[in-house]
Amino acid sequence: SQQGEEDPQALSIQEGENATMNCSYKTSINNLQWYRQNSGRGLVHLILIRSNEREKHSGRLRVTLDTSKKSSSLLITASRAADTASYFCATDARGFQKLVFGTGTRLLVSP
């Protein structure tokens, strides 16, 4: 079964608004990563949060991790049209020995 699952599947907002994406997973993890993918391109690593961390910031990105709920959220503040992309979470589930990606959230930021 799928390890990471993003919610919502698609999100449409205006420039300047905040965008929040959620990721749920099923088994214990060592860390969780968020990646971004522009249409038809490769994935770009955004941020990694370890299982003993609760929150992490990088520029306009804020990631939270709640291991008791097996969930993470990615917040993009003051969004820009250039943030339009698909966003994926990836978990390294202990015992799986590989990164497992979710199906992603498609974010559209309109000018």
Whole-number Å distance between alpha carbons of 32 and 34: 7
- Letters for 69-98 (x = contact with another protein by CB under 8 A, - = none) are -------------------x---x----xx
Whole-number Å distance between alpha carbons of 44 and 46: 6
SS3 83: helix
Q: Is 45 in the site for another protein (CB under 8 A)?
A: yes
Q: How many residues touch another protein (CB under 8 A)?
A: 23
Task: Please state, in angstroms and as integers, the Cα–Cα distance from residue 55 to each residue in 39, 47, 60, 61, following that order.
Answer: 28, 11, 13, 11
Among 13, 61, 75, 99, binds another protein (CB under 8 A): 99
Can you give the binding site for another protein, defined by CB under 8 A?
Answer: 2, 4, 30-31, 33, 35, 40-45, 48, 88, 92, 97-104
